């Protein structure tokens, strides 16, 4: 990559930001497309997020991604919030308009949907109720994606029921029923499920394991994990042994970057096996 006087600029704001794989992801696509652009890590302390976002148009940036802890704080700074990001309650992508206005979007729902379609092309929203484990930020994006795809019933299983209830309240539409359950009721929730998604941090390296008995899940039901360190979680290993189609968490991370790249740099990009290998190598190097 060579920086020139016309290089288009984007980046990721986070605190800390050093763990982010997004600079490697976007640099891969910039190299692949040959676009004169750069994507930078932008370490921004929580108390500086407003100044940092307001500086983007002044400095000529096309936009940026947001990661922890800025995804909610950005709501009070941006000029416009796309309706989907408002429903999910988090902004992960900023796009600067030609007039210098700052728009907040959320691309996690897109990332989840594209990855699912990529990995299990024959999954149908009519396959049956979707069971989502978790009610945090990731779960909210996944519920929005599934509701918009036409899933008629979504069952949330979460440790903190209040959190599940507020998710159900915020993301219900006339076309989708969202129910909530505790972990004690998970076997019943799985019984006729058409999709199972782990959207908790359980099973991630350094976190407690996710111990789930899959025996009540119908055999053809796909099992998705958003965890990508390790890539093959205990949940996915157990699902694979039982013959379920399985989807790991790396693809969602990669696909969620596509809309931002397209908006800032003006070209569509794809998630390829080579890209997966490049990101997996950076994850392995960090172990």
Strands 63-66 and 8-14 turn out to be parallel
Give residue for tokens 């600067």: 96
Burial (Cβ within 10 Å: 0-12, 13-18, ≥19) of residue 59: exposed
Q: In the bound complex, which residue of the shown chain has the CB atom lying closest to ligand ATR? A: 136
- Assess 135 for contact with ligand ATR (CB under 6 A): yes
Contact between 201 and ligand ATR per CB under 6 A = yes
Could you tell me the smallest distance in angstroms from the CB atom of residue 58 to ligand ATR?
30
**Nearer to ligand ATR by C-beta: 84 or 278?**
84
Which has the closest alpha carbon to 235: 247, 219, 251, 252?
247
Binding residue for ligand ATR (CB under 6 A) from 20, 92, 107, 158?
158
Question: Do residues 140 and 163 touch, judged by C-beta distance below 8 A?
Answer: no
Q: In this structure, are residues 234 and 108 in contact, taking their beta carbons and an 8 Å threshold?
A: no
159 lines the binding site for ligand ATR (CB under 6 A): yes
Residue 71 is among the residues annotated as catalytic for this protein: yes
Among 111, 137, 203, 249, binds ligand ATR (CB under 6 A): 137
Residue placing its CB nearer to ligand ATR in the complex, 96 or 167: 167
Site size for ligand ATR (CB under 6 A): 14
Region from 40-48, 97-105, 137-145, 215-223 binding ligand ATR, contact rule CB under 6 A: 137-145
Catalytic residue among 71, 105, 140, 155: 71
- Beta strands of 44-92 (E only): which ranges? 63-66, 80-81
Q: How far apart (Å, rounded) are the C-alpha atoms in residues 212 and 183?
A: 10
Peptide bond into 16 cis (omega under 30): yes
Q: How many residues in total does the chain contain? A: 287
From the list 92-100, 154-162, 184-192, 264-272, the region that binds ligand ATR by CB under 6 A is 154-162
Residue 69 binds to ligand ATR (criterion: CB under 6 A) = no
Give the binding site for ligand ATR (CB under 6 A): 134-139, 158-160, 163, 200-202, 208
């Amino acid at each position: 990559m060579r920086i020139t006087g016309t290089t288009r600029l984007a980046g990721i704001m986070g605190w800390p930001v050093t763990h982010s794989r997004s600079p490697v992801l976007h640099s891969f696509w910039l190299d692949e497309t040959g676009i004169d652009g750069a994507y930078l890590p932008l370490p921004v302390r929580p108390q500086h997020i407003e100044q940092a976002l307001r500086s983007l148009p002044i400095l000529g940036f096309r936009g940026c991604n947001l990661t922890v802890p800025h995804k909610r704080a950005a709501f009070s700074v941006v000029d416009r919030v796309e309706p989907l990001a408002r429903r999910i309650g988090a902004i992960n992508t900023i796009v600067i308009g030609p007039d210098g206005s700052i728009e907040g979007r959320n691309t996690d729902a897109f990332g989840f949907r594209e990855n699912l379609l990529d990995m299990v092309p024959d999954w149908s929203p009519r396959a049956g109720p979707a069971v989502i484990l978790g009610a945090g930020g990731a779960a909210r994006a996944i519920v929005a994606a599934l509701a918009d795809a036409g899933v008629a019933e979504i069952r949330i299983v979460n440790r903190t029921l209040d959190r599940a209830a507020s998710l159900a309240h915020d993301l219900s539409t006339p076309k989708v029923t969202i129910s909530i359950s505790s972990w004690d009721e998970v076997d019943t929730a799985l019984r006729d499920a058409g999709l199972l998604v782990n959207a908790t941090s359980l099973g991630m390296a350094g976190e407690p394991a996710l111990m789930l008995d899959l025996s009540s899940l119908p055999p053809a039901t796909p099992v998705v994990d958003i965890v990508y360190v390790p890539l093959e979680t205990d949940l996915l290993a157990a699902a694979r042994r039982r013959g379920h189609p399985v989807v790991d968490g790396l693809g969602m991370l990669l696909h969620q970057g596509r809309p931002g790249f397209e908006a800032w740099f003006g070209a569509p990009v794809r998630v390829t096996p080579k890209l997966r290998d490049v990101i997996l190598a950076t994850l392995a190097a960090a172990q």
